Structure 1
Amino acid sequence: MSEAAGRRDWPRASESEFGPPLAGEYRAVPEDFVVEESLGFAPEGQGEHLWLWIEKRGLTTLEAVRLLARAAGVPQRAVGYSGMKDRMAVTRQWLSLHLPGREAPADLSERLGDSGLRVLEQVRHPRKLKRGVHRANRFTLRISGAAVQAGLDERWAWLCGHGVPNLFGPQRFGAEGRNLMRARAVLARGWRKRDDREGMLLSAARSFLFNELLAMRLADGSWRCLVPGDVAMLDGTASQFVVGAVDTDLSERATALDLHPSGVLWGVGNSLAGGDAEHYEQVLRERHATLCDGLERSGVRLARRALRMRLDNPRLVREGDRLRLDFSLPRGGFATAVLRELIAHPTLMLALDGIHAKT
Structure 2
Amino acid sequence: MQRWPHAHGGPLGAGHFRQSPEDFQVTELMDFVPEGHGEHQWLWVEKRGLTTDDLCRHLANLCEVAPRDIGIAGLKDKQAVTQQWVSVWLPGREAPASLIDALAELGVRVLASVRHPRKLKRGVHRGNRFALKVSGEAIAHPDFITRWETLIREGVPNYFGPQRFGHQGHNLGRARAVLVRGWRKRDDRSGMLLSTARSFLFNEVLAARIKSRCWATALTGEVFSLNGTGSRFVTDGSESAETLTARLASGDIHPTGPLWGTGRLETHSQVAELEQALPKCWPQLCIGLEQAGVKTERRPLRLIPSQSRLEWDVTPVQASDAGSDASVWLYFDLPRGSFATGLLRELIAHPLL
TM-score of Structure 1 vs Structure 2, range by shorter chain: over 0.9
Show the 5 A alignment for 1:24-35. Answer: 24-35=15-26
Match of 1:244 in 2: 236
1:9 to 3, 6, 9: 3
Is it true that 1:290 corresponds to 2:284 in the alignment?
A: yes
CA positional deviation for 1:225: 1.4
Q: Give the AA of the match of 2:120.
A: L
Q: Give the AA of the match of 1:33.
A: F
Is it true that 1:328 corresponds to 2:320 in the alignment?
A: no
Distance 1:112 1:312 in 2: 33
Show the 5 A alignment for 1:210-221. Answer: 210-221=202-213
Task: Please identify runs of 4+ aligned residues in structure 1 that moved more than 4 A.
Answer: none
Match of 1:49 in 2: 40
Distance 1:129 1:261 in 2: 30
Distance 1:44 1:225 in 2: 43
Higher mean Cα deviation, 325-334 or 118-127? 118-127
CA positional deviation for 1:113: 4.0
CA positional deviation for 1:20: 4.1
1:305-353 CA distance string (max 9 Å, x none): 00011110110111131010000000101001110011001111xxxxx
TM-score, normalising length from structure 2? 0.94
Match of 2:131 in 1: 140
Show the 5 A alignment for 1:155-304. Answer: 155-245=147-237, 247-304=241-298
CA positional deviation for 1:211: 0.4
Contact 2:12 2:141 in 1 (8 A): no
CA positional deviation for 1:226: 1.4
Which consecutive residues of structure 1, in runs of 5 or more, have no partner in the other structure? 1-6, 349-359
Q: Give the AA of the match of 1:150.
A: H
Distance 1:104 1:165 in 2: 43
Q: Give the AA of the match of 2:243.
A: D
Distance 2:218 2:336 in 1: 22
2:262 counterpart SS class: coil
Distance 2:62 2:108 in 1: 11
Distance 1:167 1:33 in 2: 19
Distance 1:157 1:69 in 2: 44
Q: Give the AA of the match of 1:331.
A: R
Q: Give the AA of the match of 1:328.
A: D
Q: Give the AA of the match of 2:348.
A: I
Q: Give the AA of the match of 1:165.
A: P
Match of 2:312 in 1: 318
Relative to structure 1, the CA distance from residue 20 to residue 57 in structure 2 (aligned partners, 3 Å threshold; closer, same or farther) is closer
1:56 counterpart SS class: strand
1:244-298 CA distance string (max 9 Å, x none): 3452111110111000000000001111011111112111221111100000000
Identity %: 53
2:244 counterpart SS class: helix
1:126-162 CA distance string (max 9 Å, x none): 1100110100100000010010111410100001110
CA positional deviation for 1:110: 2.0
Q: Give the AA of the match of 2:168.
A: E
Distance 1:126 1:310 in 2: 34
Higher mean Cα deviation, 28-37 or 170-179? 170-179
1:346 counterpart SS class: coil
Q: Give the AA of the match of 1:100.
A: P
TM-score, normalising length from structure 1? 0.92
Q: Give the AA of the match of 1:341.
A: E
Match of 1:347 in 2: 352
Distance 1:56 1:191 in 2: 34
1:40-99 CA distance string (max 9 Å, x none): 111111111111101110111111100111111211111000101111111100000001
Distance 1:192 1:47 in 2: 36
Contact 2:46 2:111 in 1 (8 A): yes
CA positional deviation for 1:11: 0.8
Root mean square deviation of aligned Cα? 1.1
Match of 1:62 in 2: 53
Match of 1:115 in 2: 106
Distance 2:291 2:2 in 1: 28
Distance 1:20 1:347 in 2: 13
Higher mean Cα deviation, 115-124 or 88-97? 115-124
Q: Give the AA of the match of 1:162.
A: E
CA positional deviation for 1:112: 2.1
Which consecutive residues of structure 2, in runs of 5 or more, have no partner in the other structure? 315-325
Q: Give the AA of the match of 1:12.
A: H
2:346 counterpart SS class: helix
1:109 counterpart SS class: helix
Q: Give the AA of the match of 1:122.
A: S
Distance 1:336 1:221 in 2: 21
Distance 1:116 1:287 in 2: 45
